[in-house]
Structure 1
């Protein structure tokens, strides 16, 4: 327990605002390569994989990984925040389309992404990390993307009229819990089925 404050400080330092901007272009590319590799390996092989093995698979030296991510917790946090940024970018792309039901596409993607990275999120929760506190601007951006797509869906009448954005975000979090409870994080078909059941519940209910 006593190591948690220092681990949290190291993790948050690795993700401090401005760090990305200060990196040289080659260092930034290496960091992104490590993040993508780590995300894939954590999802496929679990959290036991070492930083040195992640470095090998990413095609960089161990020192590169340890320089950017001094602890495993720092890498977990960076992977989770990078995942949120990817989702924000996807939401922005969907907002530029004219699909009134893009909300459902986005929510399904959010749930699938969360299921694939459930181990990382569980590790962060166990270490008492809160993503909304660690990356408030990214978390807010994601909520704004959901809110914009929800407004469009409301205008088109393709979603329940009584659905609010905070309820949508709560249901997404509930989907992660349901997928974990069913122990199907590594089964894309089963986790997608659970997510689809939840998404279908957001559609307008037929009048009897």
Structure 2
């Protein structure tokens, strides 16, 4: 792959940042011209880096999913795996719920986010946090990565369609806890 010039890298980064902001609000409904305007570049610059709105959307989503995976990997050796897992689970839901594009991508069971490498990285890193929390006895053993993804999507729907319903996410978290941990940790969950 040809190395990009510094100005091209800056323009690509501006387009990605503008697209993330625009997609967060409007999902795929946002016109590319609006993204170009928000980025302070011409529409041609957007098309030079991304041949279609779908390609730009995919790049934004994959970048965010990659960030989630990197964060999970960084937490993989943290002490108190049960607490780390719950905190991370809640953080992913809160961050993703603010971005319609991420919600849409995570909810899409056959979508590009989970077929692409970043999706697999996220799944693996999240699975590692889950396995450590289960080994510590903090999370029930009958949950796997696919169950967890479904629960994240369900929590995102709660956050999206019933804003301010953090207590419903706590109900899900309580359901994830191993039986001895739910009562003792109820006061510490968000």
Aligned to 2:150: 170
Count of matched residue pairs? 179
In angstroms, what is the RMSD of aligned CA positions?
3.0
Aligned to 1:43: 24
Preserved CA contact (<8 Å) 1:80 1:121: no
CA deviations on 1:51-98 (whole Å, 9 max, x unpaired) are: 222222223333221211222222221121111111112112222432
Preserved CA contact (<8 Å) 1:124 1:130: no
Question: CA distance change for structure 1 residues 121 and 203 in 2, over 3 Å: closer, same or farther?
Answer: closer
Q: 1:83 aligns with which of 57, 64, 83?
A: 64
Aligned to 1:202: 176
CA deviations on 1:101-142 (whole Å, 9 max, x unpaired) are: 21112212222233223356548989x844323x1x211111
Aligned to 1:66: 47
Question: CA distance change for structure 1 residues 124 and 171 in 2, over 3 Å: closer, same or farther?
Answer: closer
User: Which stretches in structure 2 are left out of the alignment for 5+ residues?
Assistant: 182-190
Q: 2:95 aligns with which of 113, 118, 125?
A: 113
Alignment of 1:141-160 (within 5 A): 141-160=121-140
CA deviations on 1:9-28 (whole Å, 9 max, x unpaired) are: xxxxxxxxx6xx74334423
User: Which stretches in structure 1 are left out of the alignment for 5+ residues?
Assistant: 1-17
Task: Calculate the TM-score normalised by the size of structure 1.
Answer: 0.70
Task: Calculate the TM-score normalised by the size of structure 2.
Answer: 0.76
Aligned to 2:185: none
